[in-house]
Chains A and B, each alone.
Chain A
Amino acid sequence: MEDRDGAFPSSLEHGYPRRLLNLLFILNTSVEPPTTDEIIGDSDLGYGSGSRDSDLKKFKRDRDKLAQQGFHIVEITGAGGRQNEQSTWTVDRMRTHAELGLISASDAEILAHAVDAATEGGTSPLMPALSSIRARLRGRMDVAPQQDAARSIDPRLEAIWNAWCLRRALPFDYTDSKGESRPHSVEIYGLFSQAGHGYFVGRDVEDNAIKTFRCDRVRAARKPTGAYDIPQGFSIRDYRFLPFDFSGAGLVNVSFSFPRTLGAAEIEDITHGRGTIVDGPHDVFTWNISVRSIDAAARFALAHASAGMRPASPSALVDAWNDILKGVVETYG
């Protein structure tokens, strides 16, 4: 059978991607699932080297490569388990394909709105994943295309996301808040958004210290290298910083109170989910957290004074609160 140009398409064109795509094509279009020998004996498909072992290994690598892309190819052993019966192969459709019938039109709309809200502004470090998810909804389930159809992803976010997915350290140049630039190589442990910016947290390989970096301050990300594991017990929530985190001083345990009438969403926005919140006395919640600067902690509470936030302990925190207030009374009173 000839193609439009009169020449049969060669599997050598486009390299191994065409071989994998054609393997998938064959599995999707065959009347009967092909056997192992049919697959590895097919030179047009890209196997058939003459060495069965070599072709079997290539077939295994190709299945693994397709699995990385979400296509799971499984072996069907001989019906009835007859001896010497060749295995056949098929796409595991349940593991591979989404079951869109489980989602109602209303669910799809909620999902689309959620993804659109999270990607508004284009700064979330989850953009690459969320854009891919949104694209899968496009044109399906009557979900309208994303409003900004050409919402391009910052290549730095792509680089950070890919490095995290691969669990490979990301080398990059970085300009800090003071304007100083230097190279880093970071094993990324987690990602978060805060106040309209994206951040990643990980081990700086050279300094062997856990650090937080702002995504838009990354310059010139390079190819990730060096595999790593994320330490057990790592919690990204602990790195959603607050103004009292920036000091070289040691940690001090402090407590604040919030009135019980304050909404949970507002408390979450203030506390960033850090520390612990427990029932306190006299119709308040008590927020326990460790801080590096008592003065910054007092100022943080003052910034939320009209919401009812108050310093509770230790006395140094209450004193810092009062000192600032006395200064204002003295200046403006």
Chain B
Amino acid sequence: MSNNHLKRTSLYVGGSSPSKMLDARFYHEDCIVYDLEDAVAATDKDAARFLIYQAVRCHRPPNKYVLIRVNGIYSDFIAEDLQAAVRARPDAIRLPKVERACEVQQIDAAITAIEAAAGIPLGQTELWCNIESPLGATNAKEIATASPRVVAMALGAEDYTASMGAQRSKAGWEIFYGRMQVLEACRLAGISAQDAVFSDINDAEGLQEDLKMTRGLGFDGKTVVHPRQIDLVNAAFTPTTKEIRNAMKVMEALQEGARNNTGVVVVDGSMVDKPMEIRAKTILAQAKAAGIETGEWLK
């Protein structure tokens, strides 16, 4: 799977239920996260490992970015989780409750050893780090650059809120600073920034409000816990026709300016500067990844 694969939605699927794992193949999520952590009882971790391994090896969902969320770095399950998860050859391992860069490096080394033993190209297995505590958020920049395997980070809002002693609310002000710490670290490292789960699966309006903020801040995608959230989140992270047209206008104007050796390029009365060009390119890249025709502007 390409590094440029769309990552608008990542859906958690518990590793205990074959029917849920099979159903998840048919939804529209960009990324599917087979979960060995919270969705699996401590007495059933062994069964979930076998099930996820077989499901990913034998029935890997086509055209989806596949992740396996393992148990925490300090849990009793992590060593065997990694043995199974890396060998299943997902696109990435999702690592919960990361707090320090050295933890990522430790997991990187363990993955490298398994890849070598299993004949998997070294470095193929990517990492998504979940930031779920104030310490993790404070160290987010170091975590984001701790290993070339790290391609995305996500805020785990429930654990983060609990460790902050805050109350979780729909407006999300209690996680605003944590969100920004994760987002800024991702942008500095050039990796994907994934927003926290919106827990109330029955509140579509609340999710829309949350998405407005998330998209406005600059996140690339959001984790979802229920299939009914997928289409709303995908729509929020797909550029609108108006945004795409504006972006194409900017790129056309820049091309025209380069042809005519014009120093300053103007679109709709506004001077096109470097940030506008970057925004236009980002929108066109997002549109292209979503399968929307954008012409040749990204070359």
Report if A and B associate in a common complex. no
List chain B positions with a Cβ less than 8 A from chain A.
none
